[in-house]
Chain A
Amino acid sequence: MTRSAAHSNITLDDVDAAVINRLQDGFPLVPRPFAVAGEQLGLSETQVMERVRRLREAGMLTRFGPFFDAAAMGGAFCLCAMAVPVDRFEEVATKVNAHHEVAHNYERAHRLNMWFVLATEFSDQIEAVACEIERETGLRVLRLPKLEEFFIGFKVAA
């Protein structure tokens, strides 16, 4: 089965899916990593590089490289949620997004309709920014810090 991508005109085939699945984790730490990954996939070094480049250019991959844990490096993260009255939504979104500590922000279909992540260098700054947003908007900010993470990866069916 092949799957057409929603926002591009390339179609994902079995090889693309295998490349995406194999390369989500454990990109080889050797001088010729694409060659080693290729051996496991039954592809040449050039073929793997071409696939990754094409998938990246087509927007099927958002990133290729190391994924850093900012929390481990001394930074802090906190998921936050707010129940924003519908008629104030745009105003509050503007106020929240104006903080550079807001890494991403999603509107969700729920009473708690605004969900954002605060990313700061030091953990005590999370509280300070959350309080500031509460003052600026007059709305409560629910803090939902991460206690544990279970990352296994995401498998693409082609």
Chain B
Amino acid sequence: MNRLEDLDRKLIEATQAGLPIMESPYASVAAEIGTTEAEVINRFGRLIEQGFVRRIGVAPNHYALGLIANGMTVWDVDDRFASQKGREVGALEFVSHCYLRSRVLPEWPFNLFVMVHGQTRGEVESKRAEIAQLLGETCRSSDVLYSTRILKKTGLRLSRNGG
């Protein structure tokens, strides 16, 4: 079991809001938490290996990019093929997130959740058709849920003493 050390925690706290956009962002973070640039680079590498950091990079704002139709497509995929099909669907270029989740029977038979963004609902529908084709007979039924309003949105908050 991997554990976070104090310095990791400081590093996470210092970069939760993002990295500075400057020539040497890691040196800047290092100065802030009282360590060296090499240590910051080293720690980030290890946090990625350990799975605490998923990636370092940018997150596009789908709404600002004009992709305002946000459809959560959901699929009831045969459990025997769900992992394999999840990987294939996740690799489609228009898919931003793809998850396998627990079903809640009988009211929620869907286990594969695929976020699809488009400029219009028509675009989302045609992408949904592509996913359906890829899933083929492994999929028993599907649905699409469009978001109509953001009710709340906050970032990740890491508490000081917890995990």
Name A's B-contacting residues (CB within 8 A). 3-8, 12, 20, 23-27, 29-35, 45, 49, 52-53, 55-56, 58-70, 72-75, 79, 81, 93, 96-97, 102-110, 112, 114-116, 119, 121-122, 142-152, 154-156
Contacts and interface: CB of A to CB of B under 8 A. Distances in A.
Contacts of A4: 66
A110 B52 contact: no
A110 B145 contact: yes
A18 B23 CA distance: 20
B66 A53 contact: no
A31 B54 contact: no
A103 B21 contact: no
Interface of B: 2, 4, 12, 15-19, 21-27, 37, 41, 44-45, 47, 50-66, 68, 72, 83, 86-87, 89-91, 93-102, 104, 107-108, 111, 113, 117, 143, 145-154, 156, 158-159, 162-163
B163 A67 contact: no
Contacts of B96: 154
A156 B65 CA distance: 9
B59 A107 contact: no
B21 A52 contact: yes
Q: Select the residue from B21, B26, B68, B145 with max chain A CB neighbours within 10 A.
A: B21
Given A69-B52, A150-B87, 13 more contacts: A24-B58, A27-B55, A30-B41, A65-B16, A68-B54, A70-B156, A72-B2, A93-B151, A104-B153, A142-B104, A143-B102, A146-B99, A150-B99
B101 A70 contact: no
B150 A148 contact: no
A29 B152 contact: no
A66 B99 contact: no
A154 to B, nearest CB: 4
Contact of B152 (A7, A102, A155): A102
Nearest to A79: B101
B66 A6 contact: yes
Contacts of B22: 49
Nearest to A6: B66
Q: Select the residue from A55, A65, A79 with max chain B CB neighbours within 10 A.
A: A65
Contacts of A24: 55, 57-60
